[in-house]
Chains A and B, each alone.
Chain A
């Protein structure tokens, strides 16, 4: 291919300033690949014309899979032949995003050989994202990835690549083993991840505690958020140490959302039966306070961004579940949800929207969960109740 270098005065403006520049990154890649040269030229045109220049291309993939490849074509290949094709590949990241230098170099070798040399570490869902290659390179890239022990992630109407916080690997607050569960579910649902058979996407995210560092409550169809049942663990000595530098009354007690804490200048008292497991006091005094010992996770479901029917946060389904391999209770719950939503959901209907449409009460009946007050912020405040005919009366 004729190597062309484009003038990019507008892109160059984005190399200025203290923060690391993506334009500098693209230029690094452009020393090696024509894709990167082309994408820089195309981006310059976008900055000039104030419009994107990529086209939908949902018809490419690798043999056997329906997920993992996002097809993309330039809308002006005559100007930028280098990026006539610019497909993305999603590669399932290791749980917790831990790498060795050797693994990183394997990935770079593969991408320098087959694609643009540009990637996202990581995409929004959590995958390693290889940005930009042509159709003919998809299978060879996939083969090289598999040879090195990597597989593609999800895209389309499938289980999206599960992701989790680093949990027990490096956090004292992890209430269950997020990385192990993430890996376990990823392997258990391989077919659902690679072969889209759902109405729309389904995301799993595992957060080790209610701080929710992976934003599971905002974006996962199933948010698995660590919590504990018993009393917050206290270290009296460490509390006394904190008291020397920290205004415990102002910084801790007055920020407690349920006012379940007391501090008389010497002793900290917690009414654990009223603690809502918000994490504030533990966040402020990590040496002195810890989640209790009876740990597990809450299952919340239904979060999504606005498309189609409006944004939702996940809401409570199971307040507490022990999280121990092989996670049979959890998998039974998930399978019950997949059965009803997978079969009855409409095209592009996330599980949260499905629940809105059929009614939470009906949904609970179908998946076999008892309604409990933990599931609601408050009971309904309208009298439009869909009473069902009393079965006994019907029989008479």
Chain B
């Protein structure tokens, strides 16, 4: 059975959500994980790119930058701002 772009986006989202706070994923980490699982069901480079696009355009995940770009659950804005302040 062929995998759909929506399915790939959903699974990528689950991965990000599951490992939030433990591991930050880059776009390619998510693409590689899905390709490993679904390559024989048609998950090619083009589909994986579209799946990333779907994941971001849906608003479920955003790109962040910490010395490199990652895909994460949206941060609450204050969180980054509280940094460096004495608690």
**Chain A: residues with CB nearer than 8 A to chain B?**
55-61, 63-67, 70-71, 73, 75, 77, 84, 135, 155-158, 191, 195-200, 342-343, 347-348
Name B36-84 residues within 8 Å CB distance of A. 49, 52-53, 56-57, 59, 62-69, 71, 74-75, 77, 79-81, 83-84
Q: List 10 A-B contacts (CB under 8 A).
A: A57-B81, A58-B80, A59-B64, A59-B80, A66-B71, A84-B81, A135-B77, A195-B56, A196-B63, A197-B52
Closest to B56 in A: A64
Known: A60-B77, A157-B26. A196 touches B83 (CB 8 A): no
CB distance from B72 to the nearest CB of A (A): 8
What does DSSP make chain A's interface, helix, strand, loop or mixed?
Answer: loop
Contact B68 A347 (CB under 8 A): yes
Chain A residues within 8 Å of B9, by CB = none
Q: Please tell me if B17 contacts chain A, counting CB pairs below 8 Å.
A: no
CB-based contact A200/B68 at 8 Å: yes
CA distance A30 to B23 in the complex (A): 43
Q: How far is the CA of A198 from the CA of B63 in the complex (A)?
A: 13
Bound complex: CA A63 to CA B56 (Å): 8
- Cβ-closest chain B residue relative to A346: B68
Name the contact of B84 in the complex, choosing from A55, A63, A71, A156 (C-beta under 8 A). A55
CB distance from B52 to the nearest CB of A (A): 7
Whether A75 contacts B84 by the Cβ 8 Å rule is: yes
Are A196 and B27 in contact, with the CB atoms below 8 A? yes
CA of A73 to CA of B84 in the docked complex: distance in angstroms? 11
**Residue among B64, B67, B68, B69 with max Cβ neighbours from chain A (10 Å):** B69
> Do B68 and A59 touch (CB < 8 A)?
no
- Name the interface size band of chain B: 20 to 34
Q: Measuring CB to CB, which residues of chain B are less than 8 angstroms from any residue of chain A?
A: 26-28, 31-32, 49, 52-53, 56-57, 59, 62-69, 71, 74-75, 77, 79-81, 83-85
A141 and B43 alpha carbons, distance in the complex (Å) = 36
- A10 to chain B: closest CB distance in Å? 24
Q: Are A195 and B84 in contact (CB under 8 A)?
A: no
A63 touches B68 (CB 8 A): no
Contact flag A199-B62 (CB < 8 Å), given A55-B83, A59-B75, A60-B77: no
Closest CB of chain A to B22's CB: distance in Å?
A: 16
Q: How far is the CB of A276 from chain B (nearest CB, A)?
A: 38
CB-contact partner of A59 in B27, B53, B77, B85, under 8 A: B77
Which chain B residue shows the least CB distance to A191?
A: B49
Chain B residues, Cβ within 8 Å of A198: 28
Complex contact B69–A56 (CB within 8 A) = no
Using known A-B contacts A59-B64, A66-B63, A347-B26, determine if residue A195 contacts B53 with beta carbons closer than 8 Å. yes
Q: Are A157 and B69 in contact (CB under 8 A)?
A: yes
- Of the residues B52, B79, B81, contact of A195 by C-beta under 8 Å: B52
Bound-state Cα–Cα, A61 to B70, Å: 13
In the complex, what's the smallest C-beta–C-beta distance from B60 to chain A, in angstroms? 12
Q: Tell whether, in the assembled complex, residue A348 and residue B68 are in contact, meaning their CB atoms are under 8 Å apart.
A: yes
**Nearest residue, chain A, Cβ from B26:** A347
A135–B78 Cα distance when bound, in Å, is 12
* From A65, A75, A77, A197, contact of B28 by CB (8 A): A197
| Residues on A with beta carbons closer than 8 Å to the beta carbon of B71 | 66
Q: Which B residues are CB-close (under 8 A) to A84?
A: 81
Are A65 and B57 interface neighbours, CB within 8 A?
Answer: no
In the complex, A55→B69 CA distance in Å?
17
Q: Which residues of A contact B65 (CB under 8 A)?
A: 58-59, 66, 70-71, 155-156
B69 near A156 with CB under 8 A, answer yes
| Contact assessment for A58 and B66 in the assembled complex, using a CB-CB cutoff below 8 Å | yes
Complex alpha-carbon distance, A67 and B62, angstroms: 11
| A56:B28 contact, CB within 8 angstroms | no
Cβ–Cβ contact A156 & B81, under 8 A: no
Whether A158 contacts B69 by the Cβ 8 Å rule is yes
In chain B, what residue has the closest Cβ to A65? B63
For B69, give its contact among A60, A66, A75 (CB under 8 Å). A66
Q: How far is the CB of A157 from chain B (nearest CB, A)?
A: 4
User: With A55-B81, A196-B63, A198-B28 given, can you name 6 additional A-B contacts, CB distance below 8 Å?
Assistant: A58-B66, A59-B80, A60-B77, A66-B62, A67-B63, A135-B77
B28 to chain A minimum Cβ distance, whole angstroms, is 6
- Write out the residue numbers on chain B whose beta carbons fall within 8 Å of the beta carbon of A60: 77
B83, chain A: closest CB distance, angstroms: 6
